[in-house]
Amino acid sequence: MWLRVSSYPEKEMAMEIASKIRNAGARVEIKEHTDWDLEEKYILRGKLSELEEYEEAQEWKRYAEIIRDLLREKIDVETFEKEFLKRAFPEEYRLAEKIMDKEVSDETFLDGVEAAFKLSFLMSSVYGFLRANGIEVNDFVGGSLPDDPEIVIELDEEVVGCEKVYYLDFSPAWDVSVDILSVIKNNVTVEGIEGVVIDAISRVLMNLIAGLEETNDIEELESYTSGVIEEAEGLDAELYVDAEEIFDIMLKSLEKAGIIRISGKKVKLRK
């Protein structure tokens, strides 16, 4: 039975977490796919001075000051992006840099992934802002901002003068999946939130197998897929688990692995 542990925007991130799980003794797969996200937003366009009442405009005022300072001389795109992010979001930039550190903890790695997502989205908006104000963006960033630049701000609620738009964003993603039967067979322990999920589904699967000592009826056996883990690995409170919706998937995986035999509405352990 394969469990998708998580999805990552960079192949290197997926390979890092996959390596940790594989080194612990489990079978791991990485698969690339195209992800998408559709959002409904309301936007306002205008001069910065015209939209100063909005909090979002104040952020662009801060960004504009950083950009003006960076554009005192012609600067290459990579340096511009690095310096802008270091000044605009120093904490997030620091976290994002840590995802390539092999010694970093799982918790810090996940925080870094979240920060990298945020910064990537921000830079897309910054480059749109630059082009809207006549700044050339190729291998280098060159030009100067107007005193009162044009901005576009996004709002979650409709206001007078705004326009409704949809954002459809496509992006590459890499899924990391783990063979749970290999986790059980090799008594694998994985740290971090991934470890919590892997441990929980492993316990459910073992509970399902143990349930065959009590009943062979499929409908009765389904109740063994939900319950409470009082001392979940890595958590400081009880964990309520509900895996009823993947009951059929678990049965099929156990049958494919040669552990059980399904006949009609009955299930039996193979000798």
Whole-number Å distance between alpha carbons of 1 and 27? 11
Least confident stretch, 13-27, 48-62, 155-169, 235-249: 155-169
Average pLDDT value for residue range 69-88: 91
Look over the chain and give the mean of its residue pLDDT values, rounded to a whole number. 89
State the helix-helix crossing angle for 106-132 and 11-23, rounded to 10 degrees: 180
Residue 89 makes CB contacts below 8 A (sequence gap 6+) with 115, 118, 119, 122
Residue 136 makes CB contacts below 8 A (sequence gap 6+) with 142, 143
For the stretch 236-256, pLDDT in tens is 888 999 999 999 999 999 999
Q: What's the confidence (pLDDT) of residue 56?
A: 85
Instruction: Report DSSP state, residue 4.
Output: E
Q: What's the confidence (pLDDT) of residue 12?
A: 86
pLDDT band at 271 (very low <50, low <70, confident <90, very high): low
Percent of the chain with pLDDT over 90: 48
User: What are the structural domain ranges in the chain?
Assistant: 11-175, 191-269
State the helix-helix crossing angle for 55-70 and 77-88, rounded to 10 degrees: 130
- pLDDT of 261 > 70? The answer is yes
For the stretch 109-156, pLDDT in tens is 778 888 888 888 888 889 989 999 999 888 889 888 999 999 998 888
Q: Which pTM does this prediction carry?
A: 0.60
Q: What is the DSSP string of 94-124?
A: HHHHGGG-TTS-HHHHHHHHHHHHHHHHHHH
- CATH class assigned to 191-269: mainly alpha
